[in-house]
Structure 1
Amino acid sequence: MSERAGGSPARTLAVAGYLADDVVRSQRYLLPLLVYVAVLGVLFGGDPGEPPGAWPASALALYPMAAWLAVIVANTEDPVQRTVTVAAAGGVVPVVTGTLLVGLAGDLLLVALPMGWPVVFGGHPYPPSVLLLGGVAHLACAVTGTAVGLLCARPLVERIGWSFCLGTAIVVVTAVQPWLPPVGVAVGALAALGPPPFAAAVLSLVLALGAAAVVWTVERRR
């Protein structure tokens, strides 16, 4: 089957569903999820305060967690299983796109936790404009993490130890630069209660799509 046919939306969604089920069954997501919930428990414990509260810190914490999750999704199959999945899907496109979609779906779940926590359990009002700011900023950090995770996983980085070292280095170097988009700009907008960082969110999506394109190029040439 041609690569073009393999990229049909229905086939891509089927692959995404298969990969998501594989991730859930492997339970490898539990460790980053538990670590993330523990971090949020510390940040939002007691009264989270008036907005932005702990959102700048939770958005920054979301960055490495999303990268970690993306590595788990991309590495959920070993190379032999991946080859079988690519053949069954009709090409590399639906598999790489499905991997990206599962990572982005995980981002939405991770974003929902810090967004809902102070609203549900806090005693201060969070108006719609502030919620929009928080949502856009958290999404920018999460999607950027997904881009980093895809670039640090198979087929680009074969060994999980190197994935961890490379991902940690990228996150540390980029997260501490407040002027650097998308993460630095998004966290800065949250801290200053500025306008929603839509440009940073769009850039994060471009980075994620670019990372997926790099993965597709490498895997297609193997």
Structure 2
Amino acid sequence: MSAEIAKSQYEDVYKFRDTKGKMFVAPGAYFRKDKALYMPNFVGRTVEKGKEKEFRATTDVLKGKVSVVRIASYLSGENHTNSYFRDGETGNTADESTGFQIVDINLPDNWATEILVRWHANKIRGELKDPARHGRYFIARKGVTKELKDQLFMTNKYTGYVFLVDQDCKIRWAACGNATDEERASLWKFVAALQREGAASKM
């Protein structure tokens, strides 16, 4: 078992070096609602002050809003997800005022890494300038299986992944690795399109 884990870790490192984390190229159009898959429900703790020990479900946060979901396990992946934002600094993004929300899911590789991330909760809160973001930064490890990651095409732990999720928790677009100019532009074009779609469904 230990040998298999070590082999898997080395494979991730080599594949990351070869691809620079670009495991797939994002589609040029977003997925139709009737064909889209649901975003899995991750359960974990957030960095919201005073509530760090409470377990919350991501589905409860995603319902009813257009969400840009960023998933990473390491700093390399976090840097990837930052590249999808226009200014490269998501901590200063006033997402609530622009009609969508940012949801961060940190997937620690093991229990020791999870403890380390939780120890740095104050630092994470400091990087997220909007206090509302604190309750949407999840640290989730339990129940996150290889099968679940494969379902989301999250095949390398050093890569960062971005998912555009609609008001019904369906994945409408996905990307990974450093954003190309086209991918960055597509994300924000599709955010606006899903906002219009959601508004039309309420009429």
Q: Which has the higher helix share?
A: 1
Q: TM-score if structure 2 supplies the norm length?
A: 0.30
Q: TM-score if structure 1 supplies the norm length?
A: 0.28
Q: Which has the higher strand share?
A: 2
Higher Rg of the two aligned structures: 1
